[in-house]
Amino acid sequence: MVGLQKAETSDFSKIGTKVYNEITHYFDAWYVSASEASWRIFHYDLHTHSPAIQRLAVHLPGQEQVIYSEGKAQQALQHNKNTTLTGWFKIDQTNPLARTISYNLFPEHFKWNQSSHTWAPRKKGKVIGRLYRANPAEEERFFLRLLLHHCPGATCYEDLRKLEDGTVCTTFIETAMRRGFLQHDEECVECLTEAADIATPTQIRLLFQLLKSHGKNLADFPGFPNIDEPNISFKSNLLHKQCQYKIEYQTVVADKNESLLNSDQHHVYQKVVDATEQHTNTTAYFVEGPGGSGKTFLYNTILARIRSKGEIAQAVASSGIAAELLNGGRTAHSRFKIPISISETSTCNISRNSALANLI
Ligand SMILES: Nc1ncnc2c1ncn2[C@@H]1O[C@H](COP(=O)(O)OP(=O)(O)OP(=O)(O)O)[C@@H](O)[C@H]1O
């Protein structure tokens, strides 16, 4: 389904000198495609979520979130309600079945009542539980989260710190260590694997820094690459993306489309493809034709042919809508960092050793 597309009509030079209401601007110039319009007319779901997910609080004793109006902090504290975690401790005190289920699996068998802030046995529906994320740098909270995955039946925080022989540890870190949850660095591997899927590059760099500060490297964990390898070559993300086109697929597309080109299209196609083969040729070609005459089809055929040779072809257009129609297309402003307000002396904002400079 084609999503919402914004037709830009405003005068960008005025941004900053007058009040710019981005939301009004968005709705005023809102383009609804035919497929989206029919989707909305038939009231199809815009998004679904299956199975439902119950988010589970993970907080240290007395550190749960309390929401209060200004000046009513004391009252809010007195009437503080259970969180999903303290509610789990409570039901474990009275319900023998609840005591057999760990916190992360609890929503599959028990239902959280949002108004009474209590758990009750689930009668219908499939719901899975997800504990809020904790950063390893938070230490105690991180290890509490770890213990909550493995220790069913806790009726208070102290129970979570209890060892099998009844000894109560002073911290969650100590409990996790003594119960053997950290023996093989498995938690670190899990943490890195999870980070690879969901963390931002900054968060990943922080994790890497944390590993280094403990004298470890990725290569210390099975299945992770040794990034100290001297011969390893790193491509920038930009370059990497451009090299990801599958040559076989691009060849099939180029061959198929080439056979369909009409004589005018074929004439331009041959000229441009021949020019790309001579790498010193810097000729600019302009293709003109009425709407629907096959210009975009021609561009995509040329792009596929160049990419089928393992070479890089940058597809750019002056508007987002036009760029969408080109395979791997971007707006020229975005790709080449062209300033929005330009003067005679404007230049593209590309620094010398950047990934973009390298790509170009
Ligand atoms: N040689 C061809 N063989 C088969 N289909 C073609 C050919 N050329 C164009 N088409 C088809 O014709 C339709 C219109 O072509 P296209 O979108 O490329 O035109 P355009 O000139 O870029 O239009 P506009 O200027 O409105 O963007 C598309 O569905 C395209 O796939």
Which ligand 1 atom is nearest residue 293's CA? 21
pLDDT, tens digit (0-9, with 9 covering 90-100), for 23-78? 887 778 777 889 888 998 999 888 877 889 999 999 999 899 888 888 888 888 88
Q: Are residues 255 and 317 in the same domain?
A: yes
Per-residue confidence band for 1, with pLDDT thresholds at 50, 70 and 90: very low
261 in contact with ligand 1, CB cutoff 6 A: yes
Residue recorded with tokens 């441009």: 272
For ligand 1, atom 16: residue with the closest CA = 294
Q: Are residues 174 and 193 in the same domain?
A: no
Check if the beta carbon of residue 265 is closer than 8 Å to that of residue 272. no
- Say if 339 falls within a structural domain: yes
pLDDT at residue 55 in the model: 95
pLDDT at residue 278 in the model: 83
Q: Are residues 219 and 163 in the same domain?
A: no
Domain boundary among the residues 183, 198, 219 is at 183
Rounded mean pLDDT, 231-255: 77
296 in contact with ligand 1, CB cutoff 6 A: yes
For ligand 1, atom 9: residue with the closest CA = 294
Q: Are residues 22 and 140 in the same domain?
A: no
Domain residues for the domain of 228 are: 187-232
Picking from 268-277, 335-344, 349-358, which range would have the lowest pLDDT averaged per residue?
349-358
Pocket mutation for ligand 1, best pick of 258, 265, 297, 321 (most atoms within 8 Å of C-beta): 297
260 pLDDT higher than 50: yes
> From the CA of 293, how far away is ligand 1's center (Å)?
6
Check if the beta carbon of residue 171 is closer than 8 Å to that of residue 140. yes
pLDDT, tens digit (0-9, with 9 covering 90-100), for 203-234? 888 888 777 776 677 777 766 666 654 444 55
- Say if 122 falls within a structural domain: yes
Distance CA 105, CA 220 (A): 31
* Dihedral, CA of residue 123, residue 124, residue 125 and residue 129, to nearest 10: 10
Tokens of 175: 């409990």
Q: How far is CA 215 from CA 210, 212, 228, 260, 300, in A?
A: 9, 5, 14, 60, 50
Rounded mean pLDDT, 250-269: 93
Residue recorded with tokens 């299945």: 223
Q: Are residues 151 and 255 in the same domain?
A: no
Q: Are residues 152 and 201 in the same domain?
A: no
For ligand 1, atom 14: residue with the closest CA = 292
76 in contact with ligand 1, CB cutoff 6 A: no
> From the CA of 52, how far away is ligand 1's center (Å)?
43
Domain boundary among the residues 148, 183, 218 is at 183
Which ligand 1 atom is nearest residue 261's CA? 1
Question: 355, 253, 239, 344: which is closest to 305 by C-alpha?
Answer: 253
Q: Are residues 294 and 264 in the same domain?
A: yes
- Say if 159 falls within a structural domain: yes
Report the interhelical angle of 295-308 vs 247-260 (nearest 10°). Answer: 140
Distance CA 140, CA 146 (A): 10
Q: Are residues 83 and 129 in the same domain?
A: yes
CB burial readout 1-13, b (16+ within 10 A) else e: eeeeeeeeeeeee
Q: Which amino acid belongs to residue 202?
A: T
Q: Are residues 63 and 164 in the same domain?
A: yes
If one counts the domains in the chain, the total is: 4
For ligand 1, atom 31: residue with the closest CA = 297
- Say if 142 falls within a structural domain: yes
Q: Are residues 264 and 346 in the same domain?
A: yes
- Say if 47 falls within a structural domain: no
Q: Are residues 161 and 216 in the same domain?
A: no
> From the CA of 291, how far away is ligand 1's center (Å)?
8
- Say if 222 falls within a structural domain: yes
- Say if 164 falls within a structural domain: yes
Q: Are residues 199 and 179 in the same domain?
A: no
| Arithmetic mean of pLDDT over the chain | 84
- Say if 46 falls within a structural domain: no
